Structures are given as C-alpha cells and as structure tokens.
C-alpha cells in the first residue's frame, strides 16, 4: 500500500509531526486517526494539539470536538475537561501547570483503547514544554493536532514535519480549493535562508525589533519605526544597492510588500527574510508581483510540509470527483497527495 509506506517512511524520518487543515471537515481528524493506526504497535506514541485559542468559543457554540481513537499505552497531553470527555481507562502521569480555559493540561496514559479529546496549549513555547515531557516519558513519535485557524499554523514550527489536510469543505469550487492549497503549500514551504551568518544576524534583528538590513559583506543596520512599514519609509532608497537583504520582525502584509516594491528601481534582486511563514499575510497576486520585481521571500525558521491528504466530499453531501481532485492537486503541487478516506 502506497499510503502506508509513505507514512511509515516519514515516521522513521521525523520524531514529531503536526497535522493542519485548510478548513474544518477537510479530514484532519481522519488523517490523524489514520496515522495513529499505522503507528500502532510500532511506536510509543505521544499526542497533543495546539492553536485552539478559540476553546471557549468552541464551548459556547458547542461544536463537537473531533474524537480520536487511540490504542492502549498512548501518552496524551490534553486539558482537564477533555480528559473527562474521553472514554479510555486512564492513568494520570503529570500535571503540567499549563492552564487553558478548559483546565490545566495534564499528561495521561491510556490503559485501554478508546476515544480521547485533545486540547493542548495555544502557545508555541508551551507546546515545546509538552513535547519535552512526552519525550521524557519515552515517546518516540509525537503527533500534534493543529486546530483550524490561522494561529494553528504555528504548530509546524515546533514540529519536525507537517501534513496538510485539504478538501471540498474549503470551497465548492474545485479550482479555488486547488489554487488555495497550492498557494498555501508554497507559502508555508518557503525557502529557508541557508547562509548561517545571515540567519544569526537576523536573529539579532528579531530580538531588537522593527526591521534591519544586511549588506553583501554582512554589515547590519537596524532601522527604527513603530512598525515594519513605517520603518521601511525611514530607509534611504539608495541604501538597498549595498544592502540587498531586508529582515522583518513580525508580520509582513501586502501593504509592506507594495511599499517595498516602490524601491524596485534600486534593486535587481532583494531578499526579504521573515521569521517564519506564519508571519506572512500576503495575497497570491502581491507575492507574484514581488517575485517578478526580483524579490525573494525567505524564512529563518522553515516549515517542512511532507504530505497532503484530501477529502473530496463536503459536509453537506456534494463534492468533487476524487480522481479529478487528485489529478489537479498533483499537477500543481510537488508533494505526495493521498485520499485516505477512499482507502479505509
């Protein structure tokens, strides 16, 4: 089985894997359950989630949280309330002191197979702490369920690899789904800056703030400003001739790139280096014009999307032809794409 082999291979290569989705009902939980099933009996599995910053909202609208079926012996990091909504026989191992709106995050061991609910931390730093606890408890493979919101795209930064789930639930227009998915893949898998010296200089800039520019002989200048866009206005245009790399702390928007393109006469090629791709709020059109102007977008902390799973059905019943959807995605994206539903 192709899918099975693919997943077994990535489990060997990466110790922590996150799953993120383009929308609700695109098969994120199916993917997670599929992965858990394949890892069964082979790995000591640890599970958690991130990015559910709308936890309380979820409670108000009482959208049911997707349930995940785990096998006996799995280590799970989840909020207290979720523990009581799970139906496994459980042992409480560690109380982490990390709080969420639905209780402290606890680490439990499943003593039976069964359903669990996941609600992990909403901050990257906290997720790192939990990952460490899971490794300390001898987990050799950790899955992180990223919720469906912009913030959950933070999950990939703290995991070694990421699976992206997409499907008809995102839009009834197949072109739109394919376009968006391939754009998202491109954006999330932006090239990492390979020059270690530049990376180390840019980390300094991320600490100090606003923006900084780096010259070809690695000289750095910090540009002050209340935000990146204002700081950009403080750069003397001709400086970009000698400083072909511009580093931005925080969010980069369409407006910022438009502003930068006003300087296009002063550069042939310019590298725009951001912390990671979750900081980018830019449209496809602006990105493509920027690239045409000689702009190269790079990240200091790369994300590794290793595979895509699809759900051609939408929750209201209609959907796309599986073959057509697969074919279109494969034409546009250079990463393995699978329909796990069909197979199961």
Partner 1 sequence: MDYLDDTQRAVIGYSYLMNEMQIHTPYGLEVKDKVKPYKKEDSDLLIKEFDDLDKLIDIIKNQSNIIHDIEFCLSKYKDIRKFILQIQNQKILDEVELFEIKNFSLITEELIDLYKKIDFEIDKIYFRSPKPLLNFLDPQNQRMSTFFICESYSKELAYIREKKRKIEENFAKEQDEQVKELLKNERNSVVIEEKEEELRVRKELTEKLRENIFLLEDNVISVGYFDFILAKANLAIKYHGTKPEINKSLEINLEDMHNPYIQSILSKTKKSFTPISILLKFGVSIITGANMGGKTVSLHTIALNVLLAQQGFFVFAKKARIPIIQFIYSISNDLQDVSKGLSSFGAEILKINEVFQNIKDQNGLLLMDEFGKGTNPEEGTILVKTLSEYCQKLKIFTVIATHYDGIPTKNTAHYQVIGLKNVNFEKLKSKIFASQKNSVEIIQDYIDYRLEKVSYNSKVPKDALNIASLLGLKKDVIKLAKKYYN
Q: Is 153 helix (H, G, I), strand (E, B) or coil?
A: helix
Nearer to partner 1, 93 or 220 (CB): 93
Give dist(CA 338, CA 308) in Å, integer: 6
**Given the rule CB under 8 A, which of 102-110, 189-197, 224-232, 278-286 is the region that contacts partner 1?**
102-110
Burial 125-148 (b: 16+ CB within 10 A, else e): ebbebbbebbeeeebebbbbbbbb
CB 296 within 8 A of CB 270: yes
Give dist(CA 165, CA 314) in Å, integer: 13
Nearer to partner 1, 107 or 231 (CB): 107
Q: How far is the CB of 91 from partner 1 (least distance, A)?
A: 4
Nearer to partner 1, 104 or 258 (CB): 104
Residue 98 backbone dihedrals phi, psi, to 5 degrees: -85, 125
Does the footprint of partner 1 cover residue 342 (CB under 8 A)?
A: no
Nearer to partner 1, 133 or 235 (CB): 133
Got the DSSP string for 67-135? PEEE-TT-EEEEEHHHHHT--S-EEEEEEEEEEETTEEEEEEEESS-EEE-----SSHHHHHHHHHHHH
**Given the rule CB under 8 A, which of 105-113, 186-194, 230-238, 239-247 is the region that contacts partner 1?**
105-113
Q: How far is the CB of 89 from partner 1 (least distance, A)?
A: 6
Q: What residues numbered 106-165 form the site for partner 1, per CB under 8 A?
A: 106, 109, 111-114
Q: How far is the CB of 105 from partner 1 (least distance, A)?
A: 11
Nearer to partner 1, 41 or 194 (CB): 41
Nearer to partner 1, 87 or 149 (CB): 87
The dihedral built from the CA positions of residue 317, 162, 34 and 344, taken in this order, carries a sign that is: positive
255 exposure class (CB count in 10 Å sphere: 0-12, 13-18, 19+): middle
Give dist(CA 212, CA 249) in Å, integer: 9
**Given the rule CB under 8 A, which of 7-15, 76-84, 217-225, 323-331 is the region that contacts partner 1?**
76-84
Nearer to partner 1, 22 or 100 (CB): 100
DSSP state for residue 292 in the 8-state scheme: H
Q: Among 89, 265, 268, 283, which residue interacts with partner 1 (rule: CB under 8 A)?
A: 89
Instruction: Give the per-residue contact string, 277-316, with partner 1 (x = CB under 8 A; - = no).
Output: ----------------------------------------
Does the footprint of partner 1 cover residue 52 (CB under 8 A)?
A: no
Give dist(CA 80, CA 228) in Å, integer: 40
**Given the rule CB under 8 A, which of 9-17, 57-65, 86-94, 310-318 is the region that contacts partner 1?**
86-94
Give dist(CA 321, CA 326) in Å, integer: 9
Binding site for partner 1 (CB under 8 A): 71-72, 80, 83-84, 87, 89-95, 97, 104, 106, 109, 111-114
């Amino acid at each position: 089985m192709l899918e099975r082999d693919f997943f077994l291979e990535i489990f060997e290569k990466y110790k922590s894997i996150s799953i993120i989705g383009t929308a609700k009902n695109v098969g994120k939980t199916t993917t997670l359950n599929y992965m858990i099933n394949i890892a069964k009996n082979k790995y000591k599995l640890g599970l958690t989630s991130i990015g559910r910053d709308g936890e309380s909202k979820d409670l108000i609208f009482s959208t049911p949280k997707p349930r995940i079926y785990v096998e006996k012996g799995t280590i799970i990091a989840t909020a207290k309330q979720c523990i009581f909504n799970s139906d496994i026989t459980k042992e409480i191992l560690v109380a982490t002191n990390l709080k969420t709106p639905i209780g402290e995050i606890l680490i439990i061991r499943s003593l039976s197979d069964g359903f669990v609910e996941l609600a992990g931390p909403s901050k990257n730093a906290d997720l790192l702490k939990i990952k460490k606890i899971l490794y300390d408890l001898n987990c050799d493979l950790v899955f992180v369920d990223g919720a469906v919101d912009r913030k959950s795209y933070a999950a990939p930064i703290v995991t070694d690899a990421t699976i992206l789930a997409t499907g008809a639930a995102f839009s009834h227009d197949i072109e739109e789904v394919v376009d968006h998915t391939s754009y998202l893949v491109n954006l999330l898998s932006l090239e990492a800056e390979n020059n270690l010296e530049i990376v180390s200089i840019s980390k300094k800039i991320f600490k100090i703030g606003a923006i900084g520019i780096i010259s070809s002989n690695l000289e750095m200048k910090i540009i002050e400003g209340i935000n990146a866009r204002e700081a950009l206005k403080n750069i003397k245009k001709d400086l970009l001739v000698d400083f072909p790399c511009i580093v931005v702390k925080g969010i980069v928007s369409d407006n910022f790139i438009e502003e930068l393109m006003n300087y296009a006469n002063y550069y042939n090629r310019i590298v725009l280096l951001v912390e990671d791709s979750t900081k980018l709020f830019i449209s496809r059109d602006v990105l493509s014009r920027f690239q045409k102007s000689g702009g190269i977008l790079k990240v200091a902390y790369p994300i590794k999307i290793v595979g895509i799973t699809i759900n051609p059905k939408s929750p209201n019943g209609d959907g796309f032809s599986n073959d057509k959807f697969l074919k279109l995605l494969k034409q546009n994206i250079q990463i393995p794409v699978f329909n796990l539903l069909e197979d199961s």
